[in-house]
Chains A and B, each alone.
Chain A
Amino acid sequence: MSQSRFQPGERVSVIRRYPHHHHRAPDYIKGRTGVIERLCGIFGNPETLAHHGDGKPEQPLYPVRFDVQHLWGPRAEQPNDTIEVEIYEHWLEPAA
């Protein structure tokens, strides 16, 4: 994959996918919606690199910004905070 699918400012959702192999999308953002912050770069896929693979096809990596209230609800200590999580493109889909 040589081109990135998403642009800064675009709303995306993290796919609800529960593989048992190594992956870099943490549970607390699965199914949640955020905003593409920027493109970090295009890197080997850690899911195959971790398991003797070659990391191909390479995956664009984006910091995605989430509102903490969307993630934690009333448990959010600072309701106006946001959090950026770096997510590989194959974990993202356009927000509904």
Chain B
Amino acid sequence: MSEEPYRPHHDLAGLEAGPVDRVEHNPAHWEKQVDAMLTLLSDEKRGLLRVDELRRGIESLGPQAYDELSYYERWIESIRLIMVEKGVVSEAEIAERIDALSKATP
């Protein structure tokens, strides 16, 4: 554990960030699906993902991805990371599924 002052990239509170966007955004369908996926993965029956792990995954995305991804994009990237880490799915299975779905969708 380092005692040298260190602020991780995601720890933004208090930094200059410009005006707050106060417009209400309706969640897209895929965003609701990500939310549902997290709920199912972390329920008592499955217990595959803790919110602390979700946060750790988001914090490990790296500064560039952290800044570029939207809120739910960070969630799904973290869910993917933790599920692969735990061996629930493999990167190869995810790639296969993405490939199959892209071919099925015109």
Interface residues of A (CB under 8 A from B): 16-22, 26-28, 46, 49-51, 71-72
Contact = CB atoms under 8 A, between A and B. Distances in A.
B32 interface: no
Given A20-B8, A27-B7, A51 B2 contact: no
Interface of B: 1-8, 11, 13-14, 50, 52-53, 55-56, 59
Contacts of A19: 1-2
A28 B1 contact: no
Contact of A20 (B5, B6, B53): B6
Chain B interface SS verdict (over half): loop
Contact of A18 (B3, B50, B53): B3
Contact of B52 (A22, A27, A71): A22
Given A49-B50, A49-B52, A50-B52, A22 B11 contact: no
Contacts of B5: 16, 18
Contact of B13 (A16, A22, A26, A50): A26
Nearest to A55: B52
